[in-house]
Chains A and B, each alone.
Chain A
Amino acid sequence: MDKVYLSHNNIVSAYGFQSSSAIDAIAKEATGLHLTEDTSVLPQPFFSSRIRQENLEQKYSELNPKEKHTRLEKMLLVSLANIITKSNLELTSRVGLLISTTKGNIDVLETNNPFSEDRAYLSVLGEMIRTFFSFKNEAIVLSNACVSGVLALAVAKRYINQGRFDHVFVVGGDLVTQFILSGFNAFQALSEEPCRPYCKTRSGINIGEVAASVLVTKDDDKLVGESVAVLGEASCNDANHISGPSRTGEGLFRSIERAMSHAKLNPASIDYISAHGTATMFNDEMEAIAFNRSGLQETPLNSLKGYFGHTLGASGLLETIIGMHSLNRNILFASKGFKELGVSQPLNIIERTTNKEIKTFLKTASGFGGCNTAAIFQKVTV
């Protein structure tokens, strides 16, 4: 089977409107999380990373929109426009559009929202994005909880391998809304301080927002410096509980094993793990068990949630893009917020941002519904 690559990429985040804006800040270990007071979202102040509205409006207006778009649509359009332009690809019937989101325009359900409730349908969101750029194919919307972002890359690769598309533009995004914050707060999962994945003092998650996009392609003449090949990917359900992770890390362990077997790699060939690390007690513990079962306890690992918070349906995509840049720059980024190991099994958490020759990384994610995804990416020299 031919190789499938990740190429042009973009991150719209609290750091700015390019992947490099985020990467440069992360390289300096600068967090995007700030104490936010917004009682329309949560009665008490909370840590979050959000895109500045006035900057977003500016970037959006540069696209000369003819229709009105929601905030999430603006984020997705701005991010996707950037990579469509950079790739210079003609949007023929051989080009797919895949959108990764958990909740889409869920804020339109709020009483004061000016948009009609129709906009809450993810297919309507998909159609707004499709028509803006005149994609020839209906948008495929993937909504698979917190693994959506990385699973979207697997789905794109599979459609390409199946001969359906030559290229797929994948874009992911979710908003920081009252809907989400009130829900996680009801679970008592929100941290009152910047999150600390895998740390002894961790106290839960922060929710953040980004839009991220990447071109998935089979053409090796469409690559960029940070391009990677998708070597293997797998998703396995825990078959255990809908809101609690498996105590044995079953689904994540199986996903990693299957992804490694598809990639024909062993644990020693993985240079870096970009883990999920939400900083809840149960999630981080489950991951530690799964990584140990897979023999990956000595592999350098980080969670990027300390920079962005948990960005839901975009997180796996966002963190994969950062992994691409990490490989390209040969830098292991510090796992922000970590001080002292607070899981029952050993893990090699990256405590300081360091230079290291790295070629191959594993990205993992886990989410509600017992879903887990693992994917392995390798640097390509262009």
Chain B
Amino acid sequence: MNGKAIFETDETDFSIFIKSAYEALHIDYSKFFKMDNLSKLAFMIADVLLKEDTEKDVALVLSNKASSLDTDRKHQQSISDSTNFYPSPSVFVYTLPNICLGEISIKHGLHSENAFLVFDKFNPSFMKDYTNSLLKEGNAKKVLCGWVNFDNGKYDAFLYVVANKGTFAHTTEELTRLYQTI
């Protein structure tokens, strides 16, 4: 966080990694265990960034490449064999990438703007323009932005809060630099 590690592990298996992080970061939230992988990843980082923040007008603008494909594949598997047909509402609901925005909104009580965008790779320029428009037009006081991708067991996430005052300049160059340092 802001260049400092708050949790470190050599574990790459997502379920073990995220459970260790959950414990190490003292997140006590039973709904967490019902979430899909994408939501767990987004939720965990958002929690670190938002838990000390009293501002509730925080828009959520996240992006990725794989949308909800990790869960889509699970739902597809449950319906691909008519003799072994087991679609489940609790899986199906996560076949939308914006569900992770809902999970973050519920935890932090945010009745704010949401948008989930999909790009081939992190697109700081498009993200910056949309975020600036939300702040400028009074649609939010702060914006939680970033990239959160989960695909075939591989994952990466880079989330940041944009406000009128802050530590880093909100420019395409700086976002590119910060994204590349993680």
The chain A residues found within 8 Å of chain B, CB to CB, are 1, 43, 102-104, 106, 109-111, 120-124, 126-127, 138, 140-145, 151, 155, 158-159, 161-162, 164, 178-179, 182-187, 234-243, 250-251, 254, 258, 262, 367-371
B80 proximal to A (CB < 8 A): yes
Q: Is A239 a contact of B109 with CB atoms below 8 Å?
A: yes
Q: Is A187 a contact of B134 with CB atoms below 8 Å?
A: no
Task: Kindly report which residue of chain A lies nearest to residue B108, judged by CB atoms.
Answer: A239
Q: In whole angstroms, what is the CA distance A71 to B73 when docked?
A: 20
Q: Is B111 a contact of A178 with CB atoms below 8 Å?
A: no
Task: Kindly report which residue of chain A lies nearest to residue B95, judged by CB atoms.
Answer: A183
**Which of B9-17, B19-27, B46-54, B86-94 is found at the contact surface with chain A?**
B86-94
Q: In whole angstroms, what is the CA distance A371 to B113 when docked?
A: 8
In the complex where A159-B129, A239-B111, A370-B105 touch, is A120 in contact with B69 (Cβ < 8 A)? yes
Q: Is B72 a contact of A120 with CB atoms below 8 Å?
A: yes
Encoded as 1 (CB less than 8 Å from any A CB) or 0, chain B from 30 to 44 comes to 000000000000000
List the A side residues contacting B123 at CB < 8 Å.
Answer: 138
Can you spell out 23 A-B residue pairs with CB atoms less than 8 angstroms apart? Answer: A106-B72, A109-B72, A123-B120, A126-B120, A140-B126, A141-B119, A142-B116, A144-B98, A159-B129, A182-B75, A183-B95, A187-B89, A235-B113, A235-B115, A238-B105, A242-B106, A243-B93, A254-B111, A368-B102, A369-B96, A369-B98, A369-B114, A371-B101
List the B side residues contacting A242 at CB < 8 Å.
Answer: 93, 99, 102-103, 106
Q: Is A238 a contact of B111 with CB atoms below 8 Å?
A: yes
Of A104, A240, A250, A369, most buried by chain B (CB within 10 Å of CB) is A369
Q: Is B80 a contact of A111 with CB atoms below 8 Å?
A: yes
Q: In whole angstroms, what is the CA distance A234 to B112 when docked?
A: 9
Residue from B87, B95, B102, B137 in contact with A161 in the complex, judged by beta carbons closer than 8 Å: B137
Chain B interface mostly helix, strand, loop or mixed? mixed
Residue from A1, A140, A162, A371 in contact with B117 in the complex, judged by beta carbons closer than 8 Å: A140
List the A side residues contacting B136 at CB < 8 Å.
Answer: 162
Of B92, B95, B96, most buried by chain A (CB within 10 Å of CB) is B96
Q: Is B106 a contact of A155 with CB atoms below 8 Å?
A: no
Of B75, B76, B80, B111, most buried by chain A (CB within 10 Å of CB) is B111
Q: Is B65 a contact of A123 with CB atoms below 8 Å?
A: yes
In the complex where A123-B119, A239-B110 touch, is A183 in contact with B87 (Cβ < 8 A)? yes
Q: Is B106 a contact of A368 with CB atoms below 8 Å?
A: no
B118 proximal to A (CB < 8 A): yes
Q: In whole angstroms, what is the CA distance A369 to B93 when docked?
A: 8
Task: Kindly report which residue of chain B lies nearest to residue A160, judged by CB atoms.
Answer: B133
Residue from B82, B85, B114 in contact with A144 in the complex, judged by beta carbons closer than 8 Å: B114
Q: Is A371 a contact of B102 with CB atoms below 8 Å?
A: yes
Q: Is B130 a contact of A158 with CB atoms below 8 Å?
A: yes
Q: Is A145 a contact of B92 with CB atoms below 8 Å?
A: no
Q: A186-B88, A237-B111 are in contact. List 4 more A-B contacts (CB 8 A).
A: A106-B76, A121-B67, A142-B115, A185-B87
